[in-house]
Every structure is written in structure tokens, then in C-alpha cells.
Chains A and B, each alone.
Chain A
Amino acid sequence: MSVQIPPTERLRTDTIEINMGPHHPSTHGVFRMVLTLDGETVVDLEPRFGYLHRGIEKTAEERTYVQNVPFTDRLDYICGITNNWAYALALEKLAGIEVPERAEYIRVILGELTRVMNHMLAIGFLWNDLGATTFTPVVYAFRERERILDLIEMAAGSRMMPSYIRAGGVVADLPEEFMPRLQKLVPHLKRFIDEMDTMLTKNEIFRARAVGVGVLKAKDAINAGITGPVLRASGVKYDIRKADSYSIYDRFDFEVPVHTAGDVYARYLQRLAEARQSLRIIEQAMRDIPEGPVTSLPYKQLSRLKPPKGEAYGRIESPKGELGFYLVSDGSNKPYRFRIRSTSLLNLTLLREMCLGHKVADVVTILGSIDITLGDVDR
């Protein structure tokens, strides 16, 4: 007996729900998205977090101010230096600590190197997520990253977990070999960025996958607390280094690049342009760096630091966007409240809206273009 289907009735389909992650290679760690699909099209998306939640905010309340520095390395583990910097900045604001001139220059040099490294890696991973080029750009990006990490290791003694910038300055002065190495590296990185540009920007497959995908409007981006290259690729010229200048950024001549399209392609171009500006800053800092002490607060004083009662919010422009620390002191040597304003968590706010109506393969691209680190999302 066969089933009779009336030929005029249309095939009725249902949506399906699938889990992407937590162990999906494109999620850059352990991140899960619950996708509702109509065929290949995304009709709903819900991000789920917490797989890497280590309770840093709670742990930090039981440790002294200086003992908390290594925890900040482990937030956004690609850019340890800028995490240290944001915490140091908040603590300096809270306790009223001055930073010597030379330390500020060292911070700028290493911070901008971190930005170049992060942006190159972000572009490499974006290409990796596209799957278009059998791994090549990310391997090149890793090669250059290793050269930058060598310099960070020279200064701090550790590649990825530097704990180098602390309240009052930096831990130790740069070794003698550092500056000659950096002078060689900067033109090399410039060439490398140009090379990436020539190799990738005009690629037809890339443009087909990236142009017009994951569009984010400027007004929505501001309202959703999105910062960094993602915000600027939507046409908002907002860079904390200029808008709310900290450290010595007002001394350098650099531009804030802006792209207006707000899609994956614009975010890629934005990162290339920002990396070039960072190298400009490094060149000026290398030229102007003075001699002198590198910290105003020797370790013995720093380890006994007791900021006065009060609270402070300090923020910097980390490579991924605004990274802030909100510290509340009750006058003891441990923070009463240690709040991390995470960059990556806030940048994910509009992931659902960006992905709706696109295909599953585009979800991977959009997530790659936001550039998150799960250590920073979950803390």
C-alpha cells in the first residue's frame, strides 16, 4: 500500500535547532551558540557562555592588589600586556600613583606591539574560519606574532603571561638588546602588513564571503556597548586613546581610521589600518624614549599597597575595544570589589542581530570578525 500525496500540496518543513560548540573549532575556545535553522538560514541564535568561567572577580577579593596582576594576564590571553595596563591604570587612579616618563614609553611600545599582534592574528583566524586558503594566513600571522612575543619575553620573561605592567610603572627596565631588535622588527612588520594587504584584500572569494555580511549600524553599535575595531568599522570615530586620552597618547601623531560599511570586510580593513597606525606610534616612541627610572613604586611598597577608601573606574583602548577595571577599596590591602568590564562579552551583545537571515557558514565568519577571546568573555 503506498501513501498518496496530493501533488498540489507544498512540502511543509520545520525549523531545526542545533548546537554549535562548545568544542567547535570556529568558536575560538569554548563558546556555544544555539542556532535555530530554516534550511541553511539562521532564524534564531542564542549565545551561551560560562564554560571558561574561573571566578576571577571573586578570587581577586581574597588576594592583595599585586597578587591580582597575574589574573589579568589570563583574561584576554592574546594580549596580556594591555590587560595588565588597564588594571594598573585603575589602581593608579584609585591610589593616586605617579608613573615615571620612561615607564609610560615602555607601556606604549609594548601595548602597540600587542595591538599589531592581535590584529594580525584576528585577520589570520578570520581567514582560517573562512576555510578558503588552507591555513596559510594564520600561519604567517603566528610567525610574526612569535617575533613580537620574543620581544615581550625579553622584557617580561614570559611570552603570553607577562605580568609586566604594574601600578607605578613596569617591573624592570628593558634589556640592552631590546631596542636594536625592535628597530629591525618595525620595518619588517610594515612589510608584513603590506604583504597581507596584497595577498588578501582583493581576493575575490574573500570579498564574496565578507562584503555585506554581518552589517552593524553605528547607532545600534553604540547602544549595545560595542567598542574597538568593530565599532570603528561601523563608522563611529571613537578611540579611547584620543577621546579620553590616557598615558602619553596625546604626544603622538596618529590617526583613528574609520570605515563606514560595518560588515565583515570593513572590520578586516579596519584592523589592517589600525595596525599601520600602531607602528607609527611605536616609531615615534622609539625615537623619543628618555632614560630614567621605570617605576615609582618598588616591589616592597607595592606589595604592601593600601589604597585609601574609595573607588575608581579606569579604562584603556585594548586591541579588542574598551577594557575597564572598577576597583572598590575599603582601605585594606585587598580590593573590596574587583570588577572587570570585559571587551569580548559586550562585543557579542548584537551577535544574534548580526547573524539573523544569514547562512550557517556566515555565522562563523561574523564571529571571527568580531574577534573574541573566551578568557575575556567568561573571566
Chain B
Amino acid sequence: MLTHEEILSRLRERFPDAVLEVPEGMIDFTIVIAPQAWHDVALFLRDELGYDFLTNVTAVDWPDRFEVVYHLYGVQAGHPLLTIKLPVTDKENPTVPSVVDVWRSADFQEREEYDLMGIRFEGHPNLKRIMMWEGYEGHPLRKDFQNRTFTYAELEPSRKATPDW
């Protein structure tokens, strides 16, 4: 089991520019990584530090940025939770490298974040919508997505606008 300082020092030694920040006062130990370095860091975490289990991939829509969040454990090495965050400041066209070739568990989850949050995972072999249907526009989990009620006419064009009950 590695201590937090060990993880940080080994990461900083190998990738001097990758670690952007280590936020204070977090419940779970978190490291903020530069998105462009993420794929190399991921390989390093898996092969040399023993984080062989990527459990959760998700994204958070903040007013000024997107944050892609990864939760890692080491199953064989018995490592506790490590949270990795990638800040994506480009709100128009958010892109981060895919890690499907590092951890296969990212496959469906990256597709889900692409579908619902609109984050492009560069290098994903099959990046298409997973929950919403093909041809759907917009990304429902974004904060600027407007929830609305569908009318009868939209759902079933052949049906009358007001049913004659």
C-alpha cells in the first residue's frame, strides 16, 4: 500500500508537469492531472503503481469548466481509493484522451459521459451514444440543458393534440 506522499513524489518525479494541483480538505485523496498527460500517467499508474482497477468514470459540469473524474483502486495490491481529476476549460468542445486501452472498464462509461455530458474521449474505438438514441441532439446532464415536457403531438404525430375524453 502506497502513502499519499509516495504516490505524489513518484508521479512528480516521472511527470514533472502533469500534476497540476493537490486540493486540500478533500474527503477522498485527489490529484488534479493535466489532460494532455493523462494517457501516459494512466499507464504509469496501472503498470508501475499497481492501480489495476478503474471503477468509475464521470464528469461534472461547473460554470467555468468540465471536470472529468476517475476513481481508481488497486485490487491485487490492495490500494485504497485514488481520485483523479482532469480540468477541461474548453466548454465549447471538451476533449480528453481516452483510457480504454489502459482499463477496459472505461469503455461503456466514457461512451456514457460522451452521450450525456458531451465530452469527447479522443482515441475511443467506438465513441457513440449509449443511453439516448442515435440522432438525439444535446447532452442531458449538462447544466444548461432545458428539462421540458413533451407534447402529444411530438411523441405521436398521428395522435390528436387533445384527446377527446
Contacts and interface: CB of A to CB of B under 8 A. Distances in A.
A224 B75 contact: no
B131 A225 contact: no
Given A49-B130, A315-B55, A341-B55, A58 B147 contact: yes
Nearest to A324: B56
B: contact size bracket? 35 or more
Given A57-B141, A313-B71, A328-B60, A224 B27 contact: no
Interface stretch (B36-44, B87-95, B100-108, B156-164): B100-108
B28 A313 contact: yes
Interface in A313-330: 313, 315, 322, 324, 326, 328
Interface string A329-358: 000000011010100011011100000000
Contacts of B107: 224, 349
A53 B131 contact: yes
Contact of A322 (B55, B112, B129): B55
Interface stretch (A131-139, A179-187, A236-244, A257-265): A236-244
A362 to B, nearest CB: 22
A222 B52 contact: yes
Contacts of A220: 104
A44 to B, nearest CB: 12
Q: How many interface residues does chain A have, given as a range?
A: 35 or more
A223 interface: yes
Contact of B56 (A62, A313, A328): A313
Interface string B137-156: 00011000101000000000
Given A222-B75, A349-B108, A94 B53 contact: no
B53 to A, nearest CB: 6
B81 interface: yes
B104 A55 contact: no
A324 B26 contact: no
Grouping DSSP codes into helix (H, G, I), strand (E, B) and loop, the A interface class, with mixed when no group exceeds half, is: mixed
B60 A337 contact: yes
Given A222-B75, A225-B55, A313-B56, A349 B133 contact: no
B27 A93 contact: yes
A201 B111 CA distance: 39
Contacts of A50: 129-133
Interface in B34-74: 52-56, 58, 60-61, 69, 71, 73
Interface of B: 25-28, 52-56, 58, 60-61, 69, 71, 73, 75-76, 78, 80-81, 83, 103-105, 107-109, 112, 116, 129-133, 140-141, 145, 147
Interface of A: 49-50, 53, 55, 57-58, 62, 93-94, 220, 222-226, 236, 238, 243-244, 310-313, 315, 322, 324, 326, 328, 336-337, 339, 341, 345-346, 348-350, 378
The 9 closest A-B pairs by CB, nearest first: A225-B105, A224-B104, A50-B131, A341-B56, A53-B131, A339-B58, A312-B27, A337-B60, A223-B104
